Amino acid sequence: MLLLSALLIMGSQISSAQSITYKEDAKTYALPALFQNNNNEIILSWTEKDAAGMVNYYFARSADKGKTFSDKKLIYAAPGIGTGRLARPRLLFKKNGDMVATFSFNPDAQLQANAGEVKAARPKELQVYVTESADGGNTWSTPKSVHNDATPGVIRGFYDATLMANDELAVVFLKDIPNKPHERDLRLVIAQNGVFGDERIIDSFVCDCCNLGLLTDEKGNLNVYYRENADNIRDIAKMISTDNGITFSTPEMVYKDNWKINACPHTGPVALRYGNTNLISYYSGVEGNPGVRLVTQAGKQLLLLKDETIKTASLAGNEKKAVILYGQGTQDAGTKIGYRTIAKSKVSADKWLDNSATGTNPNGIIVDNELVVVYELTEKGKVVGIKTDVVKLN
C-alpha cells in the first residue's frame, strides 16, 4: 500500500498528503473512474496505452476511503480496447461480489509495430465486450462480445452498461443503420441466466455519436438516457423499463431545450441515482442559453453551467448527497477541476480542487462526508497521468 506520511514513489505511483498520481513516461492514460464494491471498498479503474498501441485495462483497490490504493491489477490487455470518452469502460459488482468489467473493443486493431508504424485509423468496427472475475479481480474470464450478431464492419458503440434489479447485465449502444452513413439506432441487449440474448432496437433513429446513460433506480426500474434526433432537434430523451429491460415506456424529453443543430455534438448524458429521484447532466448549445445542465428525473433544472469551456460533467453521490464535477479552462490558458455540491434542490457555488492545474475529465464517488476524485493530467494536449484526491464536503 502507499504510505501517506511522506512523499513516496513506488513504480509509477507518487503519493503526497491524500493525493496519488499514476504517471509513467511513454504511456498515455485515459478514462479514470471510481466505483464502490459490496465491501464498501473504493475501486479505481483506468487504461494505459504504450507507444506500440497496446492498451492495458487496470484497477486498484482502496480499503481506506481513497487515501491509499493497492498495486494495480490487470483486467485485460489488447490493442483494440477503446480509450475514447464516449464509450467508457464500466466496473460493476454482482450481489454475490463477482466483478463484471465491460469495455468497447475493436477486433481489427493491431499493434503499430505489426502495422508498419502507421498511425491507427478510426475504427470501422466496434463491439462491447465483457469479462468477469469471481475471485476479487485476481483472475478474469476470457472476454466475450455481448453481441450474437457480430457482422464485421459495423460500429456498435457509445455504450453504457449496468446491472438490473435481477442482477443481470444490460447494455445499451448505438449501431450503424445499414446503407445509411452516419445514421444509427439505439439498441439494448440483456443477459438472462448470464447468457446474452438477441439485441433489440428501442429507438429506430437517434443522434449518432453521443454517449449513452443507463442506470437502475431505487425502485428497480431500468432507465435509458440518450440524445434524440427529431428533425435535427437533439434534446436528451429517457425511457424506463419496469420489467428488467423486456419493455420500455414511450420516450420523453428529460428537459425541452429545443436545440436544433445539423451535426452530432459528441457529448451525451450522464445519470446518477440520488435519493428517490435521478439526476441527469448534459450539454446543450441552444441559442441564447447554452451550457451544461443538471436536471432531475421530473425535468426540474437545478443548474446551468454557462462557462463556454465546460462541455461535459460527471456526477457522484449517494442517497443524501451529490456532486457535479467538471473540468474548466483551455489547453492554452490552463485547466482546473471544479465541483458543486447538491443538497435536495439546492446547488452550491463553484468550488475548486486544490492543486488540480492541468486536470481534466474528473470522476468521483462520495463516501461518508468525503468526495474522492480522480482526473486526468495533461501536458500539451496529451494525457500523461491520472491523479486522485480526497476532499471533505461541507
Cell digits of residue 63: 480499503
The closest alpha carbon to 89, from 125, 61, 58, 52, belongs to 58
Range of weakest confidence among 5-9, 57-61, 151-155, 223-227:
5-9
Range of weakest confidence among 18-27, 50-59, 172-181:
18-27
Asked if residue 187 has pLDDT above 70, the reply is yes
Asked if residue 7 has pLDDT above 90, the reply is no
CA distance 81 to 102: 10
Asked if residue 12 has pLDDT above 60, the reply is no
Percent of the chain with pLDDT over 90: 80
* pLDDT at residue 318 in the model: 87
Instruction: Convert the pLDDT of each residue in 63-118 to its tens digit.
Output: 999 999 999 999 999 999 999 888 899 999 999 999 999 999 998 888 865 544 44
Asked if residue 249 has pLDDT above 90, the reply is yes
The residue that leads in pLDDT, 379 or 5, is 379
CA distance 49 to 150: 26
Taking each continuous run of H as one helix and of E as one strand, the counts in the chain are 0, 32
Asked if residue 11 has pLDDT above 80, the reply is no
SS3 of 73, please? strand
**C-beta separation of 324 from 342 below 8 A:** yes
- How far from the centroid of its chain's Cα atoms is residue 117's Cα? 30
* pLDDT at residue 120 in the model: 54
Cell digits of residue 53: 498501441
Q: Give the HSE-up count for residue 366: Cα atoms under 13 Å, Cβ half-sphere.
A: 24
Average of pLDDT values for 298-305?
Answer: 97
* pLDDT at residue 112 in the model: 63
The class that CATH gives domain 29-310 is: mainly beta
The closest alpha carbon to 270, from 208, 312, 230, belongs to 312
The closest alpha carbon to 279, from 246, 249, 256, 313, belongs to 313
The closest alpha carbon to 271, from 236, 304, 309, 241, belongs to 236
* pLDDT at residue 331 in the model: 81
* pLDDT at residue 319 in the model: 83
Average of pLDDT values for 44-69?
Answer: 96
* pLDDT at residue 381 in the model: 82
Q: Where are the domains of the chain?
A: 29-310
Average of pLDDT values for 5-28?
Answer: 62
* pLDDT at residue 16 in the model: 44
The closest alpha carbon to 174, from 147, 197, 196, belongs to 147
Residue 176 to residues 40, 81, 149, 156, Cα–Cα distance (Å): 39, 20, 13, 7
Average of pLDDT values for 205-211?
Answer: 95
SS3 of 115, please? helix
Asked if residue 4 has pLDDT above 50, the reply is no
* pLDDT at residue 119 in the model: 53
Asked if residue 170 has pLDDT above 70, the reply is yes
Residue 136 to residues 98, 166, 261, Cα–Cα distance (Å): 7, 21, 46
The helix or strand, by DSSP H or E, that contains position 322, with its residue range, turns out to be strand 322-330
* pLDDT at residue 394 in the model: 75
